[in-house]
Structure 1
Amino acid sequence: MAGKVVLYYFNGRGKMESIRWLLTVAGVEFDEVHLTARDQYLKLLKDGDLMFQQVPLVEIDGMKLVQTKAILNYIAEKHNLQGKDLKERVMINMYAEGLMDLMEMIMMLPFTPPDDLKSKLDNINTKAKERYLPVFEKALSGAQYLVGGKMSLADVELVECTLMLEEKFPDILSQFPNTKAFQNRMVNLPAIKKFLQPGSKRKPQPDEQYVKTVLEVFDMKMPILK
């Protein structure tokens, strides 16, 4: 019998946060091993656990999985969050990958030199309102979920992404009433409502300590530390 799911990552959001969200919605309990020192990362490399020398790493069902999209797709398939057929699945994946593109821009903000921060924020705000949110606003017109009338990976990523956007731009959904109504429904689902409470395994916005730890573990130097 497989043991509890274990996540290997930093004590912060990054690319692991979408995995935490999906496991939570699927009702799967998980433990976390937080990377705080370079030696931990080097040991994972030495043990052959990181296929492409990258985290996230998720231990699940007797496997050690890497690559965020592969991990998300495995969990979604296992817990019936990936549509009923191939055509639904490809739509879900298109939405999910678009959301990941947007969230990755937000993830990089803590590693951005201060002089570049405003331009990066302006770029995210513009792209969110002109490229990404209109897609979801249209898909949610008269629909409870994005694909097939049933919750999927894409829906979980959308609520995560909209909350991230509102942290940076509090009024950004004012022009997108369908998306805001969707978010309101999702955050009131019992599993998500609990996940959003203090003391859950949801991570806060990245701070200087998170950035410092990531750079030390990967032995990187960034202009932000000047």
Structure 2
Amino acid sequence: MSEKPKLTYFNGRGRMESIRWLLAAAGVEFEEEFVDTKEQYEKLCKDGSLLFDQLPLVEMDGMKLVQTRAILNYIAGKYNLHGKNLKDRARIDMYVEGTMDIFQMILMYPFTPPEQKEKQAVKIIGKITERYFPVYEKDLKKHGQDFLVGNSVSYADVQLLEAIFATEEIKPDVLEQFPQLQGFKARISNIPTIKKFLQPGSQKKPPADATYVATVLKILKIE
């Protein structure tokens, strides 16, 4: 039996959370090692574990994988979550690039100064509901399928569901005007492996708090 993938990152969501979601959706158990100090991070850099001195790091199949998209693409390919052919993969990748844009906004939101958070939240939700969610809503209605691409769950579905949950944490009623996405959320949430990951006690991480933000800023020397 092969060893479980080992995930090395800060003890929080960040760029690792999508990797956790995708592994969980594939039914793959994984182990985690959290970087809590600058010394841990510097050791990873010095011993050559981080190709570009950046986290996340995933060790699996005898490789040390870095760069979020590369890791996600490897997992999607390995566990048949990247479509049945090259055309499917292209469509999946386009949808994923959209959700990546959403994640980039949400990823930086906890690092927003308190006095700017309300304004930033309005800006983020406005962009998501005007530019991104309407695309998924339209396409789901147009092809009338349960999934974004083809007749089985893909990398794109997992990422979109994660993006929906993350956006709802900022604005709980964000799907009010998107009935197709409401149905999509219900369907994908009920896939057994994903349903399990959404339960309390899983390795799904909570929203970033002040402690997480302070730890990341300290380790990466961001002022």
User: TM-score, normalised on structure 2?
Assistant: 0.96
Task: Give, in angstroms, the shift of residue 110 of structure 1.
Answer: 1.0
Between stretches 55-64 and 115-124, larger displacement belongs to 115-124
Taking the aligned partners of 1:120 and 1:52, their CA distance within structure 2 comes to 30
Q: Superposition pairs for residues 28-107 of structure 1, below 5 Å?
A: 28-107=28-107
Is residue 198 of structure 2 the alignment partner of residue 196 of structure 1? yes
Corresponding residue for residue 176 of structure 2? 174
Task: Give, in angstroms, the shift of residue 32 of structure 1.
Answer: 0.3
Q: Cα RMSD (Å) of the superposition?
A: 1.0
Q: Deviations over 1:181-220 (max 9, x none)?
A: 0101111222111111111100001101101111111122
Between stretches 53-62 and 140-149, larger displacement belongs to 140-149
Task: Give, in angstroms, the shift of residue 115 of structure 1.
Answer: 2.5
Corresponding residue for residue 149 of structure 1? 151
| Percentage of matched positions with identical amino acids | 56
Taking the aligned partners of 2:182 and 2:15, their CA distance within structure 1 comes to 24
Question: Which residue identity lines up with residue 209 of structure 1 in the other structure?
Answer: T
User: TM-score, normalised on structure 1?
Assistant: 0.95
On the 8 A contact 1:2/1:60 being kept in 2, the answer is no
Question: Which residue identity lines up with residue 82 of structure 1 in the other structure?
Answer: H
- SS across alignment from 1:75: helix
Taking the aligned partners of 1:54 and 1:41, their CA distance within structure 2 comes to 9
Taking the aligned partners of 1:167 and 1:115, their CA distance within structure 2 comes to 19
Question: Which residue identity lines up with residue 37 of structure 1 in the other structure?
Answer: T
Task: Give, in angstroms, the shift of residue 154 of structure 1.
Answer: 0.4
Uncovered stretches (5+) of structure 1, i.e. residues with no partner: 222-226
Taking the aligned partners of 1:171 and 1:220, their CA distance within structure 2 comes to 34
Question: Which residue identity lines up with residue 207 of structure 1 in the other structure?
Answer: D
Question: Which residue identity lines up with residue 40 of structure 1 in the other structure?
Answer: Q
Q: Deviations over 1:140-177 (max 9, x none)?
A: 11110001122110000011000111111111101110
Uncovered stretches (5+) of structure 2, i.e. residues with no partner: none
Q: Deviations over 1:111-140 (max 9, x none)?
A: 111222222211111111110001100121
Corresponding residue for residue 112 of structure 2? 112
Structure 1 segments of 4 or more deviating over 4 A?
none
Q: How many residues align?
A: 221
Taking the aligned partners of 2:30 and 2:80, their CA distance within structure 1 comes to 18
On the 8 A contact 1:95/1:154 being kept in 2, the answer is yes
Corresponding residue for residue 224 of structure 1? none
Taking the aligned partners of 1:42 and 1:54, their CA distance within structure 2 comes to 10
On the 8 A contact 1:19/1:72 being kept in 2, the answer is yes
Corresponding residue for residue 24 of structure 2? 24
Taking the aligned partners of 1:78 and 1:118, their CA distance within structure 2 comes to 41
Taking the aligned partners of 1:120 and 1:90, their CA distance within structure 2 comes to 32
